Amino acid sequence: MAPEEVNKPSSLPPYPQMIFAAIDGLKQKEGLNKSSISNFIASTYGDLPAGHNVLLMEHLNRLRLHGELVFFKNNYMRPDPNAPLRRGRGRPPKPKDPSVAAAVEGESGSQVKRGRGRPKKDPNAPSAPKKVKLKSTTTPPQPGSGRPRGRPRKVQPEMAGVVDA
């Protein structure tokens, strides 16, 4: 008995080819959404596998990540080679000026650029000596009213003897 291929439909082209045929066949200016691509494939090729929607989404995402399709406003379209690149959200990166980078390297040879924030503590550095506090025999006078600094201590009231009558 020969092993049967249950999940593989016969005579279907690869999914990327069917997706590009759908986009080229319907030719809409703003592109096609997933359902219109799926409907075009179903009407053109007819016999589709059971997990068609999952396969279609995987291939659409793969084509989008590789730059073969552009996803804009919930529509898929072919990228226009003359169109400027769409920038993502957030602040754009600073432009890298080659003259500044050459000047930094030229000053001291292999100078390392510091990163942001507080520098890491060097584990090989010697520890700092402890500060020695000099004790004087006389205490300096308290400036001001003569009272000690800070909040006064809380005084516990003494319990008076209980008198029974």
Cβ neighbours around 61 below 10 Å, total: 12
Average pLDDT, the chain: 76
The conformation of residue 44, written as its DSSP 8-state character, comes to: H
Say if residue 105's pLDDT is above 60: no
Tens of pLDDT along 52-66?
888 889 999 998 888
Position of tokens 């690869």? 14
Provide the CATH topology of domain 15-77: Arc Repressor Mutant, subunit A (1.10.10)
Out of 39-53, 100-114, 119-133, pick the least confident.
Answer: 100-114
pTM summary value: 0.45
Interatomic CA distance for residues 48 and 45, integer angstroms: 7
Q: Are the C-beta atoms of 48 and 9 separated by less than 8 Å?
A: yes
Out of 27-36, 132-141, 152-161, pick the least confident.
Answer: 132-141
Burial of 37: CB neighbours in 10 Å, binned 0-12, 13-18, 19+: buried
